[in-house]
Every structure is written in structure tokens, then in C-alpha cells.
Structure 1
């Protein structure tokens, strides 16, 4: 019997629910398989599926339900800020929450730097390159660089930049070591921030598949914030100020805010903990003045 799209999605939702999985995974997989946006998929929801497409969907839904394999890795891509990014198990899957960090960097830059400024920006721990590539495309006047310690991640990031036409300078290394002696106006990072306790509580779709190098932030999850703040004074250079933008875990707002305050007493022009669309602490942004 030939399935219509809505019948396939109804089966997928029911099967996924049985295994306590996200019931929307069927839409993600089917959109990728058919090369459609969600809007286009639902607009023709009564269109029939070919036997090959139906078999492909059943196979991948079953794999996700039984093993927890992320749908994004199965199809090799994920949407971010209106663009499709290649993803593999070598990189963290970009989350919708991280789009809010990208947006806020633009808002704060507009607020604290002169209009049209050719800002120098660095994305620390770039992974798939989603943040760096998006900033470069959304703000073509900016000079964007990105760094990651993983050579495999940088291969994916460079491929995404090439496909999307983003002029990003990529370097391999730890934190800002590859740019020693350089200076930036904006530092943005979605660093590893999962604590030891939280690592044990992660879902199998994350814990068993996404790179631990991009997840684990030390005993309390704050190691990378401490390390970045420690090296920050050396890269302010001749700039009168620097914008610092972090993604954080939902419980880390007060702790990261306190780390920034301790690192730059008397030099903070502005500092805020911003919430995501779910009402959880998600970003810490600060403008640090030069001494």
C-alpha cells in the first residue's frame, strides 16, 4: 500500500513516541529526503510517497528510535539561521538557541561600535563553523576568523564556508593561540560547558554520538570560560573596547557573570545575562574597556 505524506508522518510520530523520542524527527528526515522545506512538505501533505522514499523513512526512523542516532548526522546537514550546514559526528550539531547568540552579537555590536565599523571578530571553538560563517554572511563588512583544536572539525567548517560563500579565516589550535599577537574587537564562543554531573544525564542521542571534546567543560562546566577570560587581556590590543559573547548552560548565568566581573574589575562598560526563547539563561555578553 502506498503511503501519503501525512500517513508516513503519522506512523513516524507514533513510532517515535513509543520509544520516547522527539516526534518531529519524521518531518526532519522527510524534508531532507524530498529536498523540501517544512512549509512545502506540509502544503502538499496528501502527496503520495514513492516506495523507495517510504522504505528509507522507515529505516531511518527505526534507527533513530532504537539507537538514538541523531537525524542530523543521518542526513548530513542541519538548518541554522536560514542556511543549511553540513554536519558529521566530528562536530556538534548547531542548536536553535545558538542562533540567538549570533543575533545578539549583531545587536550589541551595533550598539557599542560606530555604524559601518570593519570589526575584527573571532569565533573560539568553531566546530561546524555555523557561528563564524553566519556572522561573516550577515555582516559582510566584518573580518571574521575562527579557531578549533580539532582538525576534523575544521575540515567541515571550511567546507561550509566554501559552500555558503563566507570569507572566514580558519586556524587550528587551542583557544586564541593561532592568533597570538593579533587583536580583535569581538570574541564569540559557544565553548564546551557540560559539567561532570550533567554528562551523565545527557540523552543518548547526544552522549553517544556528539563529540565529547565539544561538550565537556570540566568538573563544573566552567573551565573554558576561565581560560578564555585569562587570555583576553592580551588580545584587546589598541582597541578601546572589546565585545565578549558567550553561550552558556541554563544554570551558569550567575557563575559566568561573576567570572567576567572578577577578571575585569572597573573595566566593564556593560554586562548582561540574556535568556533564550524558553526563558532560560543562555548568553552572557560584556563590553570590556581597555585600561
Structure 2
């Protein structure tokens, strides 16, 4: 045996993490629990238990990756979103809690406007890990839901998450934005989308951009490229009144609304703020 115990490994993990972070206990505990295949409570309750040389090395590797700035979700392989646990890999964006506002308001809209959720035909554009489509489909298991992504690797993760949560009413389609729908003559009345919306020159400056897929972050020169592209395609798949919920950057609401009016006949528009008071979701209805 190595002579290491849970307690001594935890102490060393915290010491190393303090090189980069102020709050270290939780990360140190969860990363060790991941290596040992136990829960956090076990780590806290059994500091005297010995661990092997291989486990010490694996733990040290995870700690160093965290010190280097790698997102916690990639280290443990999962992330909580809207009350459920989702598989996360470096092929997909790490789920953000702000995106829950999009899901929550889309659900409220369906509950308020549709007599029968089975009438809903929705698409999650750029689904990534599938968190939006799956959360929505679980709430409305009789709805018809599509999920598109240009990345086959991301779609593979989304399909794993759908299987994990027992979702049966999502069809996953590979392709760019709404292309897989209009190429297959599929019509929808609800579009959900969290597109890349960071300006290109900002992406390299952000610490997480070294680890997350650039294709999921880079929104072009001004961060608005994918709103232009998406709105141009809406008429090819949308059944009026087509309803949309789009995540946005905190300073982009007015620009996104202007782009929407350039391409669509807008009947209703609303800017939804997150818990921090920042603009986060644009809701639209178009005829």
C-alpha cells in the first residue's frame, strides 16, 4: 500500500488547489470521491481509510488539471442542470445555470398556450449535451422534439443523456442550425436555442475557452452571427405563430431584437432577465 489515506490525500489536494482557488474543500472532496467511486459523505466520514498508489496518482492528476483551470464538470464527467444530472465531456459546452431560464420560460409558455402538449413540435438548435431538449421533453413526454447539432461528437453525448434519462420523444439530427429540418421537410412551432454568442476576439481571453469547444463559444465578429443565420432559416421550418426562446449575452438584447425584425414579422417580443438582473433570454413570436 502507498501509506496514503483519504485524509492525507485530501489534505494534499486542498494544499495544491489553494495555488489557484480560495474555496477548495468541496472540489478536493468531490474529485477524490470520483477517483474512489464513492460519494462525498464517504470521503468526509472515513479519513482513516487507505488508498492505493494508483488512486493517489489519479487524484493528483485531477487536482493538477483543476489547478490549470480545466472546468470541474470535465474532471468528474457530469453536471447538474434543471434538477438533473447530465453527462458532460470536452466535446460539449459545460451547462450554465443561466440557461435554465430559457427552459423554464419555454415550459411556462407551453403550459399557458397549448391545450394539449402533444400538439407541440419543438426544436433545440445546437443542442450540445442535450440539456435543453431533454429537460423540455421530460416535462412534455407527448410533445414532438427535435435536436440539431453540427458536431457528431456532441450529438453522441446528447443521445447518451437522453438514454440516461429515459427520453423517447426526441429525434437527433446532425447538421447546421435548422438545415436538418428543412432538408427533411420538418415543420415546428417552437424553437429553443442557446447559440454561440461571444465575440471572436473575446473568446481567447476567457480562461474556460482553452477547454470548451470553440464552435460552441465563438459567435463571430460581434457575437451575433448565429442570430442572423437562424432568423434567415425560420421561415423554412416555422408554422405560424412560430415561438422562439433564445439565450443571449447580457448586452445583446436590443441587437438581437433588431436582427429579428429585419428577418421576421414579429408579433410579440420579451426580454427575460436572469437572477442577477442581466438580460439573458429573448422570447419572440412571429407570423
One of 179, 183, 188 as aligned partner of 2:187: 183
| TM-score of the aligned structures, taking structure 1 as reference length | 0.84
Report the alpha carbon displacement of residue 141 of structure 1 after superposing the two structures with TM.
2.1
For 2:256 and 2:29, the matched residues in 1 are separated by 37
Q: Which residue of 2 aligns with 1:246?
A: 246
| Structure-2 separation of matches of 1:4 and 1:32 | 15
Cα distance change, pair 48–17 in 1 and its aligned pair in 2 (3 A): closer
- Cα RMSD of the aligned pairs, angstroms, is 2.6
Instruction: Give 3-state SS (helix, strand or coil) of 1:279's partner.
Output: coil
Q: 1:277 aligned to 271, 275, 279, which one?
A: 275
**Take 2:101 and 2:159, find their aligned partners in 1: how far apart are those partners?**
23
In structure 2, relative to structure 1, the CA distance for the partners of 1:197 and 1:124 (3 Å cut) is same
Cα distance in 2 for residues equivalent to 1:287 and 1:27: 46
> How many angstroms apart in 2 are the aligned matches of 1:49 and 1:132?
44
Aligned to 1:150: 151
**Given the alignment, which residue of 188, 192, 213 partners 2:196?**
192
Match of 2:206 in 1: 202
Say whether the 8 Å CA contact 1:257–1:273 is kept in structure 2: no
CA distance in 2, matches of 1:140, 1:215: 30
What is residue 136 of structure 2 aligned with on the other side?
A: 135
Tell me, in whole angstroms, the C-alpha distance in 2 between the residues paired with 1:171 and 1:185. Answer: 17
TM-score by length of 2: 0.85
Using the alignment, how far apart are the partners of 2:275 and 2:235 within structure 1? 32
Q: Is 1:18 aligned with 2:16?
A: no
Q: Please give the alpha-carbon distance, in whole angstroms, between the structure 1 residues aligned to 2:231 and 2:89.
A: 30
Q: Aligned residue for 1:260?
A: 260
Contact 1:245/1:284 (<8 A) preserved: yes
Which runs of 5 or more residues in structure 1 are unaligned? none
